[in-house]
Amino acid sequence: MKLLFNRVFDGADEMYAIAEKTLNETVAELGESAPINMPNTGYFLANHYSYLGKRVTTMGELKACFPEVKSWMRHEQRLGDAFKSGFGTVMAAEVIEACKYAKSSEPYGDEYHGHLSDAEVRELGVPLVTGDIPGFVVIIGPAPSDEEAVELIKGYQSRAIFVFLIGGIIDQAKRMNLSMGFPVRVVAVGPEIWCAAHIISFVNRAAMIFGAVQPGDHEAYDHYTFHRIRAFVNAFDPVADIVVACGGGAIAMGFPVITNDTKDMWPVPKSLIIQEDTKNFIETSLEARDIKIKVTKIDIPLAFSAAFEGEIVRRNDTWVDIDGSRMDCFEWVRTLEAHEVEDHSIELIGPDIDSVEPGSRMALSYVLEVAGKNMQSDFEPVIERKFHNFLNCVEGVMHTGQRDIIRMRVSKTAYEAGFRARHIGEVLYAKVKSDFESVVDKCQVKIYTVPEQLKALRAEATKAYDARDARLLSLTDESVGVFYNCILCQSFSPAHVCVVTPERLGLCGAVSWLDAKATNELDPNGPCQVVTKERVVDENIGIWEDVNEAVNQASHGSLQQVTLYSIMVDPMTSCGCFECICGIEPMTNGVVIVNREHAGMTPLGMTFSEMASMTGGGVQTPGFMGHGKQFISSKKFMKAEGGSARIVWMPAALKELVGAKLNKTASELYGVEDFVSKIADETVAEDVDGLAAFLSEHEHPVLNMEPLM
């Protein structure tokens, strides 16, 4: 067997020999002073200009550079030599092409595209840099059949990938009457492998234009192409040494080569990939170059808009009622390995919704399986929680609940418009891929409707839900490495910063630590940033130097320090969206909590609105604090002052809402059972005297605590 290095070196020599011959013949024919003007470019011979920093304008100058090209093709058994030989091969190829253009400004006529103009570089470069064109492929050689050639090209086209063709595949495309040209994003570059020089010329000019890379700075080109240009090569069997040599250059630039040739081929992970089944070229290629395809439209027969979010489907208008309260209906997101997920596969397992009588109930569940390099199981519930919103936006579809208590109705009108079970998958696929694009690389949906199968699957899903709940419970401020801030509200409360921890969710109640984490991952420059917690000052009241620095920076200097667990010392600020306000009640040494919905008076002599006016706006008011409802039962709730045992009054509705969890916390922290029954509410006291009487009557633990002030 021949080693890969040797194949590259032999291929490089072969290209060099052809270049040398062409060069000598052309010089003999035109003379050394003959000009070389590649049409419509300001970058000379772009590859020579990029790698050597030389501006080649005449045949003589081209000839003068040629020994230097040779010096790039050293033949030692080293990776660096193979890569460099690859670049040398590209320059040799450029010599061959330059000689053609020295003889004629249009050597290829209409047959092939050849050299790309600077205008084309810019036109294609902009969408490549912005990601509107997710990448480009260079397809070399004839495919096994004409049909397969066209199928592959169209497959790339449908994914908005720009296609360059070299060699026999061009004839195949022509025989199949495939429409080609720059506007349809399929360019027949040329018949021979040295035409690849035009593509690399495009790449190098893009690096100069869009990356401000300086001619001659070879490493900067590699760096730019590797990080910014999402390109790859598909080379069909048989792949000659000369193609392998060009491939060495492509790989050095960061462009993986995918081939079905197995003879003397040496797979290199992420770089040289053997995919014997050419039907899988696209999938393998996209994965190798980390290209994600943007989903631009949702393939359903109905309108999709936030306008339909609140739409109710009445019983009489219902075609099918998917009812999780009576049947095994659930929704579930789970993470799989990349190879286990076929992107955009939507599978219906069981009968469709056209199998039922209008107005009947049906069991249906859907499992969304995702894979992604940045995917974490913590994001599963975050994604899953959005299903409600996604499905409700479909005209004629109503969705409520989550996990295994979902209920979904599809209206008769929606059914008649052609809506079927598979469309649930289309909606979820499209929305998840676009809204969670930074974490979800691949996504498939399975829809199940066979009752027997659903029972087993539901048990499996329930296990996953339980594991998530256990994870949530195990998340404490101590067990995580970082906190997050949230500055979503700064548009109207410029000085406010929330510090979100596992045990203290954002005061609006809408941003948990997991939400903040997901937001940060999805939108790294967005409103939630990582707050480290490495330099602890006082763990009891919750002071970290890093937290203070983060708050100072995020509030643009308005706020120097906060404590996470105290209401008296530098309490966290509030914007104005707090679900609840907690304020100290000096007579009882306790605190009163009132939620936004409660309109009545509190024992502090102030209503919610009156308390809100002194709590919001990003100012620190010791003794007052805005917070989320779920924070009440947290073990970190004003921990510095003794914790939730300080709560002496809450509206009855709020007690009802947080009661069970709060009782559990009080039991664990203080050994007090049924703690909530010791907390007064508006039905027993709206003033201090009534409150004090109630507390002593019920032996509230606050009576034995230290004074607050």
Partner 1 sequence: MPFKRTPQQFAASIKEVTIGTGDKAVTLGGENVFPLYSFDAPISNPPKVGVEFSDTGPDRSVPGIAAFYAGADSLGDVAKRACDMPGADFVSLVLESADPNGDDMPIEECVALCREVAEAVSLPLVIQGSKNVEKDAKLFEKVAEALQGKNVLLMSAREDNHKAIAVAAVMAYGQKIGAESSVDINLAKQLNVLVSQLGIGGENVVMNLGTAAAGYGFEYVASTMDRVRGAALAQNDNMLQMPAITPVAGDAWSVKESVAPEEDFPEWGPAEQRGVSMEISTAASVLAAGANAVILRHPDSVAAVSKLVSELM
Other C-beta atoms lying within 10 Å of the C-beta of residue 334? 14
Distances, alpha carbon 50 to alpha carbons 80, 210, 582, in Å? 18, 14, 65
Is 65 within 8 Å of 49 (Cβ atoms)? no
**Residue 224 and residue 291: Cα distance in Å, rounded?**
16
CB of 191 or CB of 494, closer to partner 1: 494
**Residue 618 and residue 456: Cα distance in Å, rounded?**
51
CB of 157 or CB of 552, closer to partner 1: 552
What SS3 class is residue 92? helix
User: Does the footprint of partner 1 cover residue 135 (CB under 8 A)?
Assistant: no
Compute the least distance from the CB of residue 129 to partner 1, in Å.
Answer: 5
User: Does the footprint of partner 1 cover residue 163 (CB under 8 A)?
Assistant: no
User: Does the footprint of partner 1 cover residue 212 (CB under 8 A)?
Assistant: yes
User: Does the footprint of partner 1 cover residue 129 (CB under 8 A)?
Assistant: yes
Q: Which residues contact 263 (CB under 8 A, 6 or more apart)?
A: 237, 238
From candidates 109, 310, 481, 557, binder to partner 1 by CB under 8 A: 557
Compute the least distance from the CB of residue 159 to partner 1, in Å.
Answer: 19
User: Does the footprint of partner 1 cover residue 491 (CB under 8 A)?
Assistant: yes
User: Does the footprint of partner 1 cover residue 623 (CB under 8 A)?
Assistant: no
**Residue 329 and residue 4: Cα distance in Å, rounded?**
55
Compute the least distance from the CB of residue 437 to partner 1, in Å.
Answer: 14
CB of 33 or CB of 296, closer to partner 1: 296
Q: Which H or E run contains 319?
A: strand 318-323
CB of 1 or CB of 212, closer to partner 1: 212
User: Does the footprint of partner 1 cover residue 130 (CB under 8 A)?
Assistant: yes
User: Does the footprint of partner 1 cover residue 211 (CB under 8 A)?
Assistant: yes
**Residue 705 and residue 691: Cα distance in Å, rounded?**
17
Compute the least distance from the CB of residue 460 to partner 1, in Å.
Answer: 40
CB of 212 or CB of 312, closer to partner 1: 212
Compute the least distance from the CB of residue 233 to partner 1, in Å.
Answer: 25
CB of 507 or CB of 567, closer to partner 1: 507
Burial 679-692 (b: 16+ CB within 10 A, else e): bbbbeebbebeebb
Q: What stretches of 76-217 show up as alpha helix (H) in DSSP?
A: 79-103, 118-130, 146-158, 168-175, 196-211
Compute the least distance from the CB of residue 505 to partner 1, in Å.
Answer: 20
CB of 249 or CB of 254, closer to partner 1: 254
User: Does the footprint of partner 1 cover residue 133 (CB under 8 A)?
Assistant: no
Compute the least distance from the CB of residue 121 to partner 1, in Å.
Answer: 9
From candidates 463, 471, 556, 664, binder to partner 1 by CB under 8 A: 556
- Token look-up 């309260």 returns 325
Compute the least distance from the CB of residue 212 to partner 1, in Å.
Answer: 7
Compute the least distance from the CB of residue 525 to partner 1, in Å.
Answer: 5
What SS3 class is residue 511? coil
**Residue 505 and residue 626: Cα distance in Å, rounded?**
11
Contact window for partner 1 (CB under 8 A) among 154-162, 458-466, 489-497, 512-520: 489-497
From candidates 4, 195, 487, 685, binder to partner 1 by CB under 8 A: 487
- Token look-up 């917070």 returns 627
User: Does the footprint of partner 1 cover residue 131 (CB under 8 A)?
Assistant: yes
**What are the structure tokens assigned to 511, written together?**
């941003």
Q: What is the DSSP string of 136-165?
A: EEEEES--SSHHHHHHHHHHHHHTT-EEEE
CA torsion 471-477-481-485 (nearest 10°) is 110
Q: What stretches of 491-578 show up as alpha helix (H) in DSSP?
A: 513-522, 545-554
- Say which DSSP state 64 is in: H
Pattern 87-126, partner 1, x by CB under 8 A: --------------------------------x--x--xx
User: Does the footprint of partner 1 cover residue 182 (CB under 8 A)?
Assistant: no
Pattern 515-554, partner 1, x by CB under 8 A: ----------xxx-------------------------x-
| Residues within window 492-511 making contact with partner 1, judged by CB under 8 A | 494
User: Does the footprint of partner 1 cover residue 670 (CB under 8 A)?
Assistant: no
As a whole number of Å, the end-to-end CA separation of the chain is 85
**What are the structure tokens assigned to 72, written together?**
């790039």
Q: Which residues contact 296 (CB under 8 A, 6 or more apart)?
A: none
Residues forming contacts to partner 1 in the complex (CB under 8 A) are 119, 122, 125-127, 129-132, 209-212, 487, 490-491, 494, 525-527, 553, 556-557
